[in-house]
Structure formats: C-alpha cells, structure tokens
Structure 1
Amino acid sequence: MTKILSATVFRWLFFAIVILDILIVNMGDSEYRLVTKPLILISLLAYFSINGKHLSKSTYYLTLAALSLSLMGDISLLFDNRSNQFFILGLVSFLLAHLTYGAVFLKRRNKKFPIYLYGVLLILIAIGMALFFYLKNDLGALTYPVVIYILGILFMACTALMRIGKVPSSSFLWVFIGALFFVASDSVLAINMFKFDVPWANVLVMGTYATAQYLITEGVLRQNKWVR
C-alpha cells in the first residue's frame, strides 16, 4: 500500500512540475525554464533511483543512463537558439537515450514474437518513413542526422512492442504507450521546427514528452510482477 501511495503522490508532483513548465514557456519566461524543464527529468531520476533497486543491475543502470541522457538533451535544447551545436548535442543525447531504452527493452524481448504484431511493427516503420518524406525537402544539412534520429526512435518503439508476453501486461502497456507518446512528441517537434508553426506546439510537445518519460519509467518499474 505504501508503494502505491508513493507512486500516486509522485505522479501528482511530477505532472504539477510539467504543468508549471508549460505555463512558464507559454509566458515566455525562459530564465525560469532553466529550472522547471530540467526538474522534470531530475524528479524522474530521483524516483527511479529510489524505487528501481529491485530490478537487475543492468536494467537499473541502463534506465538511469537513458534518463540522464534525456536530461542532457533537455538542457542542451534550452540553448539551441544560441548555437546549432546545442541543437546537435540535444539530438545526439536523445538518440543515445532512445538506443539505451531499446537496450533495456531488448532484455525482456519475446523471442516468440506473435506473428500478428508484425503488422504493428510495419505501421511504426511506415509512420517513420512518412514523417521523413514529409520533412525531407526542408531538412537541408540536417537530413542525415534526422534520418538517423528517426531510425533511433523507431528502434525504441519497436523494442518496446517486443516485450509483449515477457513482462506483466501493465508493464508492457505503460512502456509501449510511453514509446508511442515519444514518437508523437518528436513528430510534432519536427513538424513545428521544419515545416510550419503547429498550434499550441509547446503544450503538445512537452505534454506528450513528459507523459512518455513517465510512462516508460513507471512501466520499467512494474516489470517484476511482485512490485505492485
């Protein structure tokens, strides 16, 4: 009961931080975002580091690494208006985070992957290809980095799907839905950056991104049946 209450309290605190960050970015108070945006991942890192010690060491440390890389990406993108190098650093950080999450998910992959789910894998790949072809004429020098990034996030989403049947259903659903939120967040961000101004882009990007990170973190914590 204590664990469930702790998770519930953290959930409220976490999304309170997210809402505060969204309010601040919409008010244009960039200085305060230097605190609120990193605090999103810092809170998840603290939550996972305390509650994830029942997991195998490799899963525990790889997940911490993925969250830390995401934090590095968040901080880098806060300064992308000062130099393209910060944008590239953020892109690389999140790419490595996706690959690290994928390594976590592969540890619990179902080697007898249901045939009917290959259709879902094809849909995910089709979404990635459609996004690239939609953006390609506007990418310029970032064409190859964006292609590599799309492959990275598709790898993360596909490996999240491969956990089906090897972890409790709640763990599978939280992680896979979280991966889909990550795809949605990055898609909106890319369209807003390279194609046109998406209405309420800040709300959509940060809302889906924070939800993705929370669902993945909580889903990994739930992958041992006795945790909840």
Structure 2
Amino acid sequence: MTKQTKITLASIVFLLVAIADVYAVITQNKTIEMIFKPLLMTTLAVVYLVSVKKPSFWLLSALFFSFWGDVFLLDKEKFFVFGLGSFLVAHLVYIKITTDLLFKDLTVKIITSAIPFVLLFVGLLGLIYGNLGDMLLPVIVYGITISTFGTAALLNYRQQKTTANSWLLLGAILFIASDSLIALNNFYTPKRLFDIAIIVLYIVSQYLIVKSIIVKEK
C-alpha cells in the first residue's frame, strides 16, 4: 500500500467518524456520540502519523489532551472542569508549536495581533461574568490561553503569509469560536444550534491545525 493510499484511507475514516459524531449531536443520540467522539482525535492522529516521516511529539501531545477533553466533555455535568483542563493543556502545546515557528518581531506587531483576541475575550467575559461563580478563575485562565494561541497564530501568519500558516490561523480562530460558543452555551444562554456549531467548528479547526503542521513537516 502506497503512502498516498494510506493517507487517503485514513482521511476517509476520519471524515466518516466526524460525520457520525456531528449526526449524533444533531439527533442528540448519546450512544452514537459516546462511540464516535473519542475516535475524532484518534483517527486524526492516524492521518497525521501516515502523512509524515518523523511525527512531532508536541502535536501528538496536543491531540492526546484533546482526546481526553472530548472524553471528559461527554459528561459535562460531572467532568466539565477536567475537560477544560485537558483542552487548556492542548492549547498550551499548540502555543508552544506555534511560537516555535516565530522569529523576533516588533512589539507593536505583537500587540496589534493580540488586540482582536483580547477584545473577543473581554466581550465574552462581560456576557458570562455574572453566571461564572466558582468557574471565574478557570475561565479567565482558559480565555487568556486561547487568546495567546490566537495571537501567536496571527503573528505567525503576518510574518510568513503561506498557505500552511493561513490554515493554522484559521484553525486557531475556529477553535476559539468553538470554545466561545461552549462558554455561551454553559454560562449565558443554552441553544441547540450552539451544540451543532461547536462540534463542527471544533472538528474543522483541529483538522486545519494538523494539516498545516503536515505541510510544514514535508
């Protein structure tokens, strides 16, 4: 079996798993979701492994913690904090991966790259602040972390406007959008449409991030 065949087959399996999980969310079928959600990052990791010669420990670590985030959030009432913690670590690893791609830049460019993400975070925090209670500190820490990831991804793209970097930036933005909807869903106003948008944005974001790293490692 050729390498391209392996990549194609792995990508098809990932796509089918993603479709099944989105279907589960749309139909509110917890049994199907329990089966396929843990397979999202597993199959995406396989896509990555068959696509590169020397896999990155850091990217696999990010997918590993994302896997546990998915698993914990299958039961948000009991394990929301554990899910949040798992994705926090995943984002920290993504920040490490992204900052390793950067070269020194002017402070003004760093600040201007941070502005849109800081504004989003502050605006979102303003909406949900009154409902956070004991979750205030964890949410602030998580918000700062994902804002840092977005800033690093935008700065990376502004330094080198390549296709791979545009995928990384878009992946970061969609990941932040997914996380923002989770915050609104849990601490502001729950909506069924949010559940669907959250999983779709999450799947696409993770794929784009992995795809960008695959291109960079070829």
TM surpasses 0.5: yes
Q: What residue number does 2:86 align with?
A: 93
**How many Å apart are 1:17 and its aligned residue?**
1.8
Which of 70, 76, 83 is matched with 2:72 structurally? Answer: 76
Residue 136 of structure 1 aligns with an amino acid whose one-letter code is Y
Q: What residue number does 1:46 align with?
A: 46
Tell me if 1:15 matches 2:11. no
**How many Å apart are 1:153 and its aligned residue?**
0.7
Aligned pairs (5 A) from 1:112-123: 112=105, 118-123=111-116
**Alpha-carbon deviations, 1:113-142, whole Å to 9, x = none?**
595574332111111111111110111110
Distance in 2 (CA, whole Å) between partners of 1:115 and 1:174 is 24
Q: What residue number does 1:110 align with?
A: 103
**How many Å apart are 1:93 and its aligned residue?**
0.3
SS in 1 for 2:156: coil
Contact kept, 8 Å, 1:188 with 1:198, in 2: the verdict is: no
Range with greater deviation from structure 2 (213-222 or 7-16):
7-16
Tell me if 1:211 matches 2:204. yes
**Alpha-carbon deviations, 1:4-58, whole Å to 9, x = none?**
6765554444233212112122323212212110111110111212323346xxx
Distance in 2 (CA, whole Å) between partners of 1:166 and 1:50 is 29
SS in 2 for 1:140: helix
More helix by share: 2
Aligned pairs (5 A) from 1:193-212: 193-212=186-205
SS in 2 for 1:205: helix
Range with greater deviation from structure 2 (112-121 or 22-31):
112-121
Distance in 2 (CA, whole Å) between partners of 1:15 and 1:188 is 23
Label 1:155 to 1:177 Cα distance change in 2 as closer, same or farther (>3 A): same
Residue 63 of structure 2 aligns with an amino acid whose one-letter code is L
SS in 1 for 2:189: coil
Q: What residue number does 2:125 align with?
A: 132
Residue 190 of structure 2 aligns with an amino acid whose one-letter code is D
Q: What residue number does 2:142 align with?
A: 149
Q: Percent identity?
A: 26
Q: What residue number does 1:67 align with?
A: 63
Residue 197 of structure 2 aligns with an amino acid whose one-letter code is L
Residue 61 of structure 1 aligns with an amino acid whose one-letter code is F
Distance in 1 (CA, whole Å) between partners of 2:47 and 2:113 is 32
Distance in 2 (CA, whole Å) between partners of 1:119 and 1:5 is 43
SS in 1 for 2:216: coil
Count of equivalent residues:
217
Question: Could you tell me the TM-score, scaled by structure 2's length?
Answer: 0.89
**How many Å apart are 1:148 and its aligned residue?**
0.5
Question: Could you tell me the TM-score, scaled by structure 1's length?
Answer: 0.86
Distance in 1 (CA, whole Å) between partners of 2:128 and 2:121 is 11
Distance in 1 (CA, whole Å) between partners of 2:141 and 2:105 is 28
Where structure 2 has 5 or more consecutive residues not aligned to the other structure, the ranges are none
Distance in 2 (CA, whole Å) between partners of 1:166 and 1:51 is 26
Contact kept, 8 Å, 2:109 with 2:155, in 1: the verdict is: no
Distance in 1 (CA, whole Å) between partners of 2:159 and 2:4 is 23
Residue 29 of structure 1 aligns with an amino acid whose one-letter code is N
